[in-house]
A and B are shown apart, each in its own frame.
Chain A
Amino acid sequence: QSVLTQPPSVSEAPRQRVTISCSGGSSNVGNSAVIWYHLLPGKAPKLLIYYNDMLASGVPDRFTGSKSGTAASLAISGLQSEDEGDYYCAAWDARLNAYVFGTGTRVTVL
């Protein structure tokens, strides 16, 4: 069971905005950089956001990461069909001495 909690799913119409939350604690999100990854079946996972809010190379600026205390979030604006898939937050957990991923959120574009 992951120590980083995300909503199981979010859905929205094209061109709208969705926000995915990532809730952790002081041993992980509160004291480490939060990273966001995108997974599509059969494809290599893709880095979206690093160091809480830094956009990875080639990622459109429709994606925005933020962090406050022990919670982080990923916002996707101008939703497109290619944005569908599973999104995971991640961070180092100093108590577990392990890199931990969130529970994952499936994004559906209606």
Chain B
Amino acid sequence: EVQLVESGGGLERPGGSLTLSCAASGFILSNHDIHWVRLAAGKGLEWVAYNGNTGDTKYATSVKGRFIVSRDNDKNTAFLQMSSLRDEDTAIYYCARGWGGVPANWYFDLWGHGALVTVSS
């Protein structure tokens, strides 16, 4: 079955770090871009980061310098390393498979069910 499965969510204190994993199955991760999107309670979707299949990356201003995307193609898994966590980072984090090539054409055709990250003291 073609799917993405996030893991690694949990409770972390402000200032702490957490790494999310996104395991791909049914397709070869190295052939695809991966994006991270989050949904905070009572708010809308927010794009977080892009991990291109050629190694390029982009980040939302709200997480730049604190979050890092990476991947292990041998394990068919992508990662989102989150550090200097803030209360406002509390959200469900989704990984999604990207298409479109240039950013103006980006779209995400496959999403995981999400991982909950709670930042609280």
- Name A's B-contacting residues (CB within 8 A): 2, 31-33, 35, 37, 39, 42-47, 50-51, 56-57, 88, 90, 92, 94, 96-104
10 nearest CB pairs, A to B:
A99-B47, A50-B107, A101-B45, A32-B104, A92-B103, A44-B111, A104-B44, A35-B107, A45-B111, A92-B104
In whole angstroms, how far apart are the Cα atoms of A20 and B86 in the complex?
Answer: 33
Contact of B46 with A by CB under 8 A: yes
Say yes or no: is B106 at the interface (Cβ < 8 Å to chain A).
yes
Which residues of A lie under 8 Å from residue B28 when comparing CB positions? none
Are the C-beta atoms of B109 and A47 separated by less than 8 Å? yes
Q: What is the interface size of chain B, counting residues whose CB is below 8 A from a CB of the partner?
A: 28
Which residue of chain B has its CB nearest to the CB of A51?
B105
Residues of B within 8 A of A (CB): 4, 35, 37, 39, 44-47, 50, 58, 60-61, 94, 96, 99-100, 103-114
Closest residue of chain A to B105 (Cβ to Cβ) is A33
Give the CA-CA distance A51 to B113 in the complex, in Å.
24
CB distance from B40 to the nearest CB of A (A): 12
- Asked if A99 and B44 make an inter-chain contact with CB atoms under 8 angstroms apart, the answer reads no
Tell whether, in the assembled complex, residue A101 and residue B114 are in contact, meaning their CB atoms are under 8 Å apart: no
Bound-complex Cα distance A46 to B99 (A): 14
- A39: chain B residues within 8 A (beta carbon): 39, 45
Q: How far is the CB of A69 from chain B (nearest CB, A)?
A: 16
A-B contact pairs, 8 of them (CB 8 A): A35-B108, A44-B4, A44-B111, A47-B110, A88-B45, A92-B105, A96-B61, A103-B44
Q: Taking A44-B112, A44-B113 as contacts, is the C-beta distance between A98 and B61 under 8 angstroms? A: yes
Which residues of chain A are within 8 angstroms of B103 by Cβ–Cβ distance? Answer: 32, 92, 99
Q: Are A98 and B105 in touch, CB under 8 angstroms?
A: no
* Nearest CB on A from B88, distance (A): 14
Verify B113–A42 contact, CB threshold 8 A.
yes
The residue on B at minimum CB distance from A101 is B45
User: Is A92 a contact of B58 with CB atoms below 8 Å?
Assistant: no
Interfacial chain A residues near B61, Cβ < 8 Å: 96, 98
Do the beta carbons of A31 and B104 come within 8 Å of each other?
A: yes
